[in-house]
Amino acid sequence: MDGDILGNGNSNRNIHHTSIYRTEFLLIKESMNEVGLLAAKIYLFPSKVKRTLSIHELFSSDEVEDYYNYFKQSDNWQQEVKPMTLYDGYPCVMACMAYRSDMVWYVNEKNGYGTWLINMSRMPVEENTELIWGWSPFVRKSVAPVYEPLNLNQKAMRHHVTWIVDEEGFGQYGLVTKKGELWLPHPRPDNWRDHNNIGNL
């Protein structure tokens, strides 16, 4: 069988080694024959594997640096600042009465934090464990928050900081005013195309 696939009539005993490599679009089978010549054929096949673009491929160096610095500062925040933002009953007790009817108090028991959440999509409130980036490193495709808000410096901020999810399931931390108005630090650009959809690449 291998001899026929490789385009020669030799049997398997003439083959010293065989290697199969799977790429995104190609199946390549290589074989070294007895005289040391490399025989190979390439077979196209439809691949269901989609490579996820890295943060460095999607965003500028400044954006990536800002994102990493945000988390690098978290150790200091956890020890010195976070205690000043806590209140009795946190995280199970919501910070205040909701400013909007679509606000819900979300508690991540595993990581021990709570935050407001607004879900404008029809997706269930679940954390997406896949690393799917939006139009900013701070925007992720996950209805539930994927990390704790780290930039709080007083208890009152917990009244307003909210994980806000758009109709397509992309979430980011923003603010809700006492009047119920939303503020997003990373608005979606009008010309942004979803790089997670292979048809838009």
Q: What is the pTM of this model?
A: 0.73
Give residue 193's pLDDT: 87
The tens digit of pLDDT for each residue in 107-128 reads 999 999 999 999 999 999 999 9
Q: Does 8 or 100 have the greater pLDDT score?
A: 100
- Rg of the chain (C-alpha set): 26
Q: Does 189 or 34 have the greater pLDDT score?
A: 189
- Give CA separation, 45 vs 25, 30, 48, in Å: 6, 16, 10
Please state, in angstroms and rounded to a whole number, the distance separating the CA atoms of residues 163 and 119.
8
Is residue 17's pLDDT more than 50? no
DSSP 3-state assignment of 187?
coil
Give residue 75's pLDDT: 84
For 149-181, b/e burial (b = at least 16 CB within 10 A) is bbebeeeeebbbbbbbbbeebbbbbbbbeeeee
Please provide the average confidence, as pLDDT, over all residues in the chain: 81
Give residue 6's pLDDT: 38
Region 144-161: mean pLDDT is 94
